[in-house]
A = this chain, B = another copy of it.
């Protein structure tokens, strides 16, 4: 089947509003969808993870070594976070969302900032106390490389890592 004819590509470079919206979506998110590539098969895989931020504002999660996404990230750290959840009302596809391409960096439990990360995470997620100390659980930072912001129909922006920081 041939690919149908195309409208002009509506994706624009980020402007100040797009940058502000992308940063707000990241700042507000407490969870997100994570896309990874499964080791062995190369199949894409999507799952849900908790989301927070480290002291420098980088997206951060606490993941189980038993989860497929964790094994995938250890084998291939390129990933994508989808942040910006629709509310219970209205058309979910008009709600802005950010597809954030990133590289996952596992935090060594022996690193100097690990205890601070843990304390800060548990302060925001007290229920995580029951599993945060299990030996397979790890903190993982997501270092953004680029992003696609969808602010609703025909409002699409491309963002660089510079657009996302600061």
Residues of A within 8 A of B (CB): 1, 3-7, 9-11, 30-31, 33-37, 42-50, 65-66, 68, 74, 78-82, 85-88, 91-93, 97, 99, 101, 106, 108-109, 127, 131, 134-136, 138, 148, 150, 153, 156
Q: Report Cα–Cα, A5/B81, bound state, in Å.
A: 27
Considering the chains assembled together, what is the distance between the CA atoms of A100 and B99 in angstroms? 19
Given contacts A42-B42, A47-B99, 6 further A-B contacts (CB under 8 A): A9-B66, A31-B92, A35-B46, A37-B37, A46-B81, A47-B148
A45 contact from B3, B35, B66, Cβ within 8 A: B35
Chain B residues in 8 Å Cβ range of A127: 91
